[in-house]
Structure 1
Amino acid sequence: MKEITCKLLVIGAGPGGYTCAIRAGQLGVDTVIVEAERAGGTCLNIGCIPSKALIHAAEEYDNLSHMVGLRNPLGISIESPKLDLARAVAWKDGIVARLNSGVLALLAKARVKIVHGRARFRDGKTVEVETETGIQVIRAQAVVIATGSEPIELPGLAFGGSVISSTEALSLATVPGKLVVVGAGYIGMELGTAFAKIGSKVTFVEEKAQILPQYDADLVAPVARRLTALDVRVLTSARAKGLSDDGLLVEDAAGSEQRLATDKVLVAVGRRPRSKGLGLDELDLDHAGPFLRIDEHCRTSMRGVYAIGDMTGEPMLAHRAMAQGELVAEIVAGKRRTWDKRCIAAVCFTDPEIVAVGLSPGEARAQGYDIRVGQFPFSANGRAMTVGRDDGFVRVVARSDTNLVLGVQAVGIAVSELSAAFSLAIEMGARLEDIAATIHAHPTRSEGFQEAAMKALGHALHI
């Protein structure tokens, strides 16, 4: 094949990669993007988007199930609902296909050349791509590594058969009668809760002492109560040892073993960088553990080679990758940019949802801040009451000397939609007075944000 030359080569068309390529194209940079599978990456095809579709289907089914009979508080009575999981999965696949086509159209609009195949470095400026029609060589002035991540396997629980990753969990044709979820982080919790709502008997096995160990106990408590209501079993301080003839062998902290009967085992213990076959051994790149080390411009230790997204470590979030991709594109185009973000929102789509932005009270104190904390419960919020779910709260963390907001956290139904307001407050350097003085629409859950700020100032109105 004829060799391709370009100014910018992006390897991986996930959220970070395609955002980088589109922005570079908009800025007139001659750009090529290489993708081994489908545009959109893990997030669009087998992660964020399809999982939220499944979670929504499960929530709708669960809501209908609670309307059976005449004792429903809303006065709505229906016959027993039924779920066709294969049809729900097909609906989810339709959403994915639509968004996948949209990404391809946006790349084309930005005049980005797409090469389908697996890339491997020859050197820091040259990549060979294994395509359906042969090896395509691409030479570029700058290269962005945006190959994302993949699920981690456990010893004795290799993926295959009854052991599945989140990828297979999103494409099951039937609902497992019994499902064991190994790992109670955000991926395991989101999917396990969804399957519990559509009829699976779910058991979580978590090595740490708490589910969702990345969040503080106050945020996790409403989620734990909801799991109890869904009849979900939770084993903490427990470790999965492997499959046996009659189920999954689990060991607790004291060394006692038990076997859990199950139809499927969903392993969701984390993700690792997808770098196999990429030829990184041909490059002189610094690492931070399994991840590529980058500076505030997303530059690796090799000139002209950038890295973004999950390849660069935590937080492994699509919106972080997208922001990094835009930054690199503008740097390559000659603009002055640097990574100066104050915070990145983390959202867990459990039931109820969790949002964490900036510092928690414990993190703020650990960094030496003298703080004030305001917390407002949704049980005192009119909008939460009118939708029948008033569990959870909004919490604001601020410096006690200046009232500068350091962090905002919330747990409750649909609080993911408040994440932008929380992030904006911190990015803009808001103080408690700014939030308290901003008129929040009534009746909305966002009023909890205002009330939490008021509480921290000592004059909450509705508690």
Structure 2
Amino acid sequence: MIEFDIAVIGGGPGGYVAAIRAAQQGACVCLIERDKVGGTCLNRGCIPTKALYSTALLLQRIKNSASHGIRAENLDFDFAQAARRKDEVVEKLVGGVEQLLKGNGVDIFRGEASLEGTGKVKIRSKDVVGHIRAKNIILATGSVVARPETLPIDGKNVLTSNEILAIKELPKSLLVIGGGYIGCEFASIFSAMGTEVTIVEQLPAILARSDRQAVREVEKTLKEQGVTIHTGTSVEALETAEGKVTARISGGRELSVEKVLVAVGRVPNTEGLGLEEAGVRTERGAVVVDEGMRTSAEGIFAIGDVTNIIQLAHVASYQGGIAVANALGGDRRADYRVVPSTIFTLPEIGQVGLTEEDCKEKGLEVKVGRFSYQASSKALCDGEPRGLVKVVAAKEDGTILGASIVGEEASALIAEVAVAMQEKMSAARLGEVIHSHPTLPEMIMEAAEDVGDSAVHKPGRGGRKTERVNKA
């Protein structure tokens, strides 16, 4: 029986990063993956979605290009080609991950893995069963789409995010059930491409965990693109007939659409792993870990969505490094105080730390700095005046507690604030950093300065007026 220092189960952004990190430190490593390496993120999530998002963003800009003197009245959009491009991007990146694993000496086994006693893993591949031994095991099996039993998901008319990324024809109409980040990203993409989109969300607002000002900007764009948004509303029934789906929503209303996307979240993927037999404790379907990513079973670690701590690919990668360090004798602990995230709607939302609403709920005294894209020379040059940068800082000493950005390149801009928070910078100190002009990052500087009422390019912040005194 083959024995490894570390066996990683799952080849997503947590698993493959953990495997490479371990190999870089001289460990004998294997990775077990039942499908393609890259996991949900690369194959059925982040990457294919963002490839389509890139197309939607370009399409939106071309449609709005008249002010640049570019006329595109007879614009022709080929969704099938956009879908092919998406697949090509995914294929290229999957191949890249394969090469990274092989180049670092990681053995890859294809099949379904399950735990069978201390340091033992069973691998099933078609009719073949194999066994390996490992001093340490890292569970990185990710998550799967939530499938409510009340909704008849058939993969043809009623889809999850898996199936909608595989369609080759643009639907004329789409009902999105769920106004979280997955639902709103797809709503932005398909509405920009010409699909008539309706969002139904049970909660009082879409994107409930994001800054309210930022969400309002996204709502404006969605509505301008013709998206209908029903909040505080549930889908009571779905019926499919003759290639159409009739949805009955609360209040007795009915909608007829070509496709339905069920986007109500994801749940940890633990089925068939043999966790209970191995002594790995779970809670509400997720693997329980400590700050060092250790499970309740000796020599078994868990990272990523399967822990349900924060369902983000970059968090899984971060946790992978911690698990490897501790499996090889270290004592690292996870720190989630500074975790940036991005929602790829039109416009984008970037967020890190606490929102203004979070601070109010926690009873924290804060000062908030804001700066509008409309006041940014670069944003105006780009023709992207919609958006806002918001920096939230402690009232006492100005330490940055969080930031929310909505607008062009918010996904990139939020990284600067994350670095500042990691270094425990104050808003005043961030505002002192010289920023190149004209650029979008200048807005970060201005918002940070605005915390102390000193933003130069924000109107209404002047000092006391000088009074003329006439001497006798």
Q: How far, CA to CA, are the matches of 1:450 and 1:193 in structure 2?
A: 29
Q: How far, CA to CA, are the matches of 1:453 and 1:79 in structure 2?
A: 42
Task: Name which of 128, 137, 145 aligns with 1:143.
Answer: 137
1:401-412 → structure 2 map (5 Å cutoff): 401-412=396-407
* 1:341 shift after superposition: 4.0
2:99 corresponds in structure 1 to 105
| Structure 2 residue identity aligned to 1:310 | D
Instruction: Say which SS state the counterpart of residue 9 (structure 1) adopts.
Output: strand
Task: Name which of 61, 64, 78 aligns with 2:62.
Answer: 64
**Contact in 1 for aligned 2:270/2:285 (Cα 8 Å):** no
Task: State yes or no: 1:89 paired with 2:83.
Answer: yes
Q: How far, CA to CA, are the matches of 1:225 and 1:440 in structure 2?
A: 30
**Contact in 1 for aligned 2:245/2:259 (Cα 8 Å):** no
**Contact in 1 for aligned 2:45/2:161 (Cα 8 Å):** yes
* 1:334 shift after superposition: 2.6
1:330-341 → structure 2 map (5 Å cutoff): 330-341=325-336
1:152 corresponds in structure 2 to 146
2:113 corresponds in structure 1 to 119
1:50 corresponds in structure 2 to 48
Q: How far, CA to CA, are the matches of 1:62 and 1:391 in structure 2?
A: 14
Q: How far, CA to CA, are the matches of 2:156 and 2:82 in structure 1?
A: 22
Tell which deviates more after alignment, 122-131 or 91-100.
122-131
Tell which deviates more after alignment, 213-222 or 44-53.
213-222
Task: State yes or no: 1:297 paired with 2:292.
Answer: yes
1:11-22 → structure 2 map (5 Å cutoff): 11-22=9-20
Task: State yes or no: 1:182 paired with 2:177.
Answer: yes
Report the count of equivalent residues: 454
Q: How far, CA to CA, are the matches of 1:413 and 1:250 in structure 2?
A: 36
2:385 corresponds in structure 1 to 390
1:419-458 → structure 2 map (5 Å cutoff): 419-458=414-453
1:261-410 → structure 2 map (5 Å cutoff): 261-410=256-405
Q: How far, CA to CA, are the matches of 2:283 and 2:93 in structure 1?
A: 33
* Residue segments in structure 2 that go unaligned for 5+ positions in a row: 459-472
Q: How far, CA to CA, are the matches of 1:333 and 1:347 in structure 2?
A: 32
Q: How far, CA to CA, are the matches of 1:122 and 1:387 in structure 2?
A: 58
1:313-366, CA deviations, whole angstroms, 9 ceiling, x for partnerless residues? Answer: 132000000001111112222334221342111210001111110011222233
Instruction: Say which SS state the counterpart of residue 433 (structure 1) adopts.
Output: helix
Identity of aligned residues (%): 35
Instruction: Say which SS state the counterpart of residue 402 (structure 1) adopts.
Output: coil
Tell which deviates more after alignment, 272-281 or 139-148.
272-281
**Contact in 2 for aligned 1:143/1:306 (Cα 8 Å):** yes
* Residue segments in structure 1 that go unaligned for 5+ positions in a row: none
| Structure 2 residue identity aligned to 1:348 | I
Change in 2 beyond 3 A, CA 1:133/1:113: farther
* 1:86 shift after superposition: 1.7
Q: How far, CA to CA, are the matches of 2:368 and 2:284 in structure 1?
A: 35
Task: Name which of 228, 235, 238 aligns with 1:243.
Answer: 238
**Contact in 1 for aligned 2:245/2:260 (Cα 8 Å):** no
Instruction: Say which SS state the counterpart of residue 351 (structure 2) adopts.
Output: strand
Tell which deviates more after alignment, 261-270 or 123-132.
123-132
Q: How far, CA to CA, are the matches of 1:110 and 1:333 in structure 2?
A: 17
Task: State yes or no: 1:257 paired with 2:252.
Answer: yes
Instruction: Say which SS state the counterpart of residue 373 (structure 1) adopts.
Output: strand
Tell which deviates more after alignment, 238-247 or 16-25.
238-247
2:36 corresponds in structure 1 to 38
| Structure 2 residue identity aligned to 1:100 | V
| Structure 2 residue identity aligned to 1:189 | C
2:71 corresponds in structure 1 to 77
1:221-246, CA deviations, whole angstroms, 9 ceiling, x for partnerless residues? Answer: 00000011101111111111221256
Change in 2 beyond 3 A, CA 1:273/1:159: farther
1:197-255, CA deviations, whole angstroms, 9 ceiling, x for partnerless residues? Answer: 11111011111111111113211000000011101111111111221256333333xxx
Task: State yes or no: 1:416 paired with 2:411.
Answer: yes
1:370-402, CA deviations, whole angstroms, 9 ceiling, x for partnerless residues? Answer: 211111111111111111111111111111111
RMSD of the TM alignment (CA)? 1.4
Q: State the TM-score, normalizing by the size of structure 1.
A: 0.95
* 1:132 shift after superposition: 4.0
| Structure 2 residue identity aligned to 1:56 | S
Q: How far, CA to CA, are the matches of 2:127 and 2:95 in structure 1?
A: 23
Higher Rg = 2
**Contact in 2 for aligned 1:240/1:248 (Cα 8 Å):** no
| Structure 2 residue identity aligned to 1:373 | V
| Structure 2 residue identity aligned to 1:6 | F
**Contact in 1 for aligned 2:37/2:94 (Cα 8 Å):** yes
Q: How far, CA to CA, are the matches of 1:59 and 1:134 in structure 2?
A: 46
Tell which deviates more after alignment, 355-364 or 27-36.
355-364
Q: How far, CA to CA, are the matches of 2:72 and 2:216 in structure 1?
A: 32
**Contact in 2 for aligned 1:18/1:107 (Cα 8 Å):** yes
Task: State yes or no: 1:129 paired with 2:123.
Answer: yes
**Contact in 1 for aligned 2:247/2:256 (Cα 8 Å):** no
**Contact in 1 for aligned 2:155/2:163 (Cα 8 Å):** no
